Amino acid sequence: MATKQVRVAYTQEFRLEAVRLVQSGQSQMQVCQALGIPKASLNSWVKALQSLELPIAQ
């Protein structure tokens, strides 16, 4: 019997913090490992923010 895969919902604050870590100089792989998130998810968040061309306030 196959197990049902659960989709995790990340908050907007969590996503922004992950992108901030990448923009501060950490590699995407380091951030993914530290936060326990898939690299594809982080990559899409970074690209989405870059496409908006909005600087993240610190």
- Whole-angstrom Cα distance, residue 43 to residue 46? 5
Per the structure, how many domains does the chain have? 1
Residue 3: the pLDDT is 82
22 within some domain: yes
- Whole-angstrom Cα distance, residue 30 to residue 33? 5
The range of the structural domain enclosing residue 41 comes to 12-52
Backbone angles phi, psi at 49, to 5 degrees: -70, -40
Put simply, whether the predicted model's pTM sits higher than 0.85 gets the answer: no
- Whole-angstrom Cα distance, residue 7 to residue 44? 16
Blockwise average pLDDT, block size 10, the chain, 58 residues: 82 94 96 96 92 61
- Whole-angstrom Cα distance, residue 20 to residue 56? 7
Token pair 């908006």: residue? 52
